[in-house]
A and B are shown apart, each in its own frame.
Chain A
Amino acid sequence: MRGGILALLVAAASLPAVAEESAWSGYLDYAYVYSSAEPEALGARLREYGAEAGIRLEDHVRVAFTDRAIEAAADPEAEQRRAAIAHLLIYLASGDTDHLDASVDAVAELRSHLDRHENRYWYHYILAHRALERDTRFDFVGEMLDLWLLVIAPLETPYDTLRDLSLSDAPSTGFVSALPYLYENVARIILIRRHQMGVDRDLDPLGAIVRMLYDGRVGAHPDVIPVELSSRDYLERIVRRLDGPESDAGSLTFTLALFGATQYHDHARSLLAEQGFSGDTLKGLRVTNGAYQSALDRAVTLQGRASVYIRVLRMLGEVYAAKQRLGVDPEIESPFTIEGAIEVYGDLREGGARPMEMGYRSREDYAVAMQRLWEEIQETCLNAADYYLTRALEKRHSADEYARSAARLYARYLAFFQRFASETERETVPDSAYFAAYEAARGYGDALLTYAGGRLTPAEMRQSTERYVAALRLFPFDRQLWPALAAALERQGRESDYLELARPVAEAVTTSRHVDGWIQNQETGWEAISVLRRALADSQVLFYLGFAGEDTAAQLEASLAELRRERDETERSLDALVQRRETLGRSAPPAAPAPDDSAATGRRAVDAFEVEALDREIETARSRLRRQEKQIAARTDALPLFRATVGTEELVDEMRARRDHPVHTLLRRMHHENRR
Chain B
Amino acid sequence: MHPSNRLRIAAILLAASGSLALGCVSETTRADALMRNTSDAQASAPLGGEALAQRKVELARAFRDLSHFNTTLESLRWREDREGTYLFSDFVGLHLEKQVFPMLGGEWQSRHPEVAALDADVRLAVAELWMRTGSGSQTDRMLDDIEERFSGRDEMLVSYPLGSQSTLREAVAHLRDRSWWDR
| Contact indicator B68/A212 (Cβ below 8 Å) | yes
Pairwise interchain contact B54-A138, C-beta atoms closer than 8 A: no
What number of residue pairs across chains A and B have CB atoms under 8 A from each other?
Answer: 153
Report if B31 contacts A (CB, 8 A): yes
Q: How far does the alpha carbon of A173 sit from the alpha carbon of B16 in the complex, in Å?
A: 21
Residue of B nearest to A154 (CB): B35
Interface assignment of A616: CB less than 8 Å from any CB of chain B: no
- Quick check: is B79 within 8 A (CB to CB) of the other chain? yes
Please state if A300 and B88 are interface contacts (CB–CB under 8 Å): no
Are B26 and A251 neighbours in the complex by a CB distance under 8 Å?
no
Q: State A115–B98 Cα separation when bound (angstroms).
A: 14
Q: A138-B2, A149-B95, A164-B54 are in contact. Are A202 and B84 (CB under 8 A)?
A: yes
Cα distance, A141 to B76, chains bound together (Å):
14
Q: How far is the CA of A227 from the CA of B81 in the complex (A)?
A: 35
The docked-state distance in angstroms from the alpha carbon of A559 to that of B20 is 108
Q: Does A60 contact B (CB under 8 A)?
A: no
Q: Pick from A77, A120, A142, A174: contact of B8, CB below 8 A.
A: A142
Give the number of chain A interface residues (Cβ < 8 Å).
54
Q: Which 8 A-B pairs have the closest CB atoms?
A: A174-B29, A176-B31, A250-B75, A205-B88, A142-B5, A249-B78, A208-B72, A211-B68
Interface residues of A in 453-485 (CB under 8 A from B): none
- Chain B residues whose C-beta falls within 8 Å of the C-beta of A156 in the assembled complex: 61
Are the C-beta atoms of B20 and A115 separated by less than 8 Å? yes
Q: How distant is B78 from chain A, measured CB to nearest CB, in Å?
A: 4
A176-205 at interface with B (beta carbon < 8 Å)? 176-177, 202, 204-205
Q: In the complex, what residue of chain B is closest to A174 when comparing beta carbons?
A: B29
User: Which residues of A does B touch, CB under 8 Å?
Assistant: 75, 77-78, 111-117, 120, 138-139, 141-142, 145-146, 148-150, 153-162, 164, 172-177, 202, 204-205, 207-208, 211-212, 215-216, 248-252, 300-301, 359
15 contacts between A and B (CB under 8 A): A111-B15, A116-B27, A117-B32, A145-B88, A146-B5, A148-B91, A156-B61, A174-B32, A175-B32, A176-B29, A205-B84, A205-B91, A216-B64, A300-B80, A301-B78
Q: Is B9 close to A, CB under 8 A?
A: yes
Taking CB atoms, residues of chain A closer than 8 Å to B75 are 204, 207, 249-252
Q: Is the CB of A175 within 8 A of B84?
A: no
Contact A215 B87, beta carbon cutoff 8 Å: no
Distance of B53 from chain A, by nearest CB (Å): 8
User: Does B99 make an interface contact (CB < 8 A)?
Assistant: yes
Interface residue tally of chain B, by bracket?
35 or more
Report B-chain residues with C-beta under 8 Å of the C-beta of A205: 72, 76, 84, 87-88, 91
Q: How far is the CB of A132 from chain B (nearest CB, A)?
A: 16
Minimal beta-carbon separation of A40 from chain B (angstroms) = 34
Chain B residues with CB under 8 Å of A207's CB are 68, 71-72, 75
Chain B residues near A160 (CB-CB < 8 A): 54, 57-58
**Contact between chains at A173 and B31 (CB < 8 Å):** yes
Residue pair A138, B74 in contact (C-beta under 8 Å): no
Interface core residue of A113, A145, A148, A359 (most chain B CB under 10 Å): A145
* Chain A contacts for B72, CB-based, 8 A: 204-205, 207-208, 211, 250
Given contacts A175-B32, A177-B31, 14 further A-B contacts (CB under 8 A): A112-B15, A113-B19, A114-B16, A115-B15, A115-B16, A116-B32, A117-B32, A141-B84, A172-B29, A204-B84, A207-B75, A215-B68, A250-B72, A359-B78
Collect the chain B residues with CB atoms within 8 Å of residue A177's CB: 31
Residues in A with CB closer than 8 Å to B4 are 139
Q: With an 8 A cutoff between CB atoms, is B47 at the interface?
A: no
User: Is there contact, CB below 8 Å, between A145 and B2?
Assistant: no
Given known contacts A158-B35, A173-B29, A173-B31, A249 and B2 CB-to-CB distance under 8 angstroms: no
